[in-house]
Amino acid sequence: MTKDLMEEIIRVAVEAGDRIMKIYEGDIQVEHKDDSSPLTEADRRSHEHIVSELKKITPEIPILSEESADISWQERKGWGEYWLVDPLDGTKEFIKKNGEFTVNIALIKENSPATGVVVIPAQNLIYGADIKNGSFRRDYDGREIELTANNNLNANKLKIVGSRSHQSGLMQTFVSNFENYEIVAAGSSLKFCLLAEGKADVYPRFGPTSEWDTAAGQCVLECAGGVVFDNAGNKLQYNTKDSVLNPYFIAMREYNETVLNCFKEIVGGS
């Protein structure tokens, strides 16, 4: 992706975040989807802005967004390239007003994230990545650093990222395999970004996620040198089946066979 196009995608995500923050600062009205997951006006406004802008910037590239996910598999399976959007990832974190919600835009090419932008509106932070140019973190004032997932780690203590909103018995089974560990709590796709910055080691996911939840964050992590594997030990991929649900997966700031095998034993290829 060209630098100019990357900057356009960042602009769109930041503008969507601005729309979210206008609602975040007031009284949040919550509805629920058919699957009981929460939905707010912020989700809608962010979605509408992102889709409208992407259609202007790249009219030839199709778009799959969480808020317009009813595109049939018959149509999707022919896509070699498409935008995958989560207009507000971490709606529960948004409702709790803890600041750990994100705007996610990813470009998927041949079933893998090729470009990713993650914006954290409440923290004025931008994470960007492209398979040709690596990963970076930038604040709204323009200060930018390159991300390398293998830096700044304490080798004597495994830092395991867990969700603030989702916990499971499988997570407890996973952590019981390690004598010295620390749980690093985080919400939404921020979990991938922590690994990309070298602030955590492992993010095992034993709960449900959809493809739009993970694509941009996965891109940020992988372009910083990290890895993401599914329950069978293969790279987590996109648009390979009718369902948009991900299998269980594990993200690591660097490949570790022992940790991966522990994860695979627990999920049993499920």
List binding-site positions for Mg(2+): 66, 86, 88-89, 213
Q: Are strands 125-130 and 158-163 parallel, antiparallel or unpaired?
A: unpaired
- Cα dist. 163→166, 189, 190, 203 in Å? 5, 10, 10, 9
Q: Cα 72–212–84 angle (5° rounding)?
A: 70
What 3-state DSSP class applies to 128?
A: strand
Token pair for 48: 């509408």
Q: How many helices (H) does the chain have, and how many strands (E)?
A: 8, 14
Cβ neighbours of residue 13 closer than 8 Å, sequence gap 6 or more: 50, 103, 104, 105, 117, 118, 119, 126
Annotated binding site: 66, 86, 88-91, 213
Calpha distance 262→270 (Å, rounded): 14
> What does the block give as tokens for 34?
């058919």
All residues at 6 or more sequence positions from 75 whose CB lies less than 8 Å from its CB, including other chains: none
- For residue 162, the number of C-alpha atoms closer than 13 Å in the C-beta half-sphere is 19
Nearest 5°: the CA angle 187, 193, 195 is: 105
CB 109 within 8 A of CB 81: yes
What residue numbers does the annotated binding site for substrate cover?
Answer: 66, 88-91, 213
**Are 236 and 147 spatial neighbours (Cβ–Cβ below 8 Å)?**
no
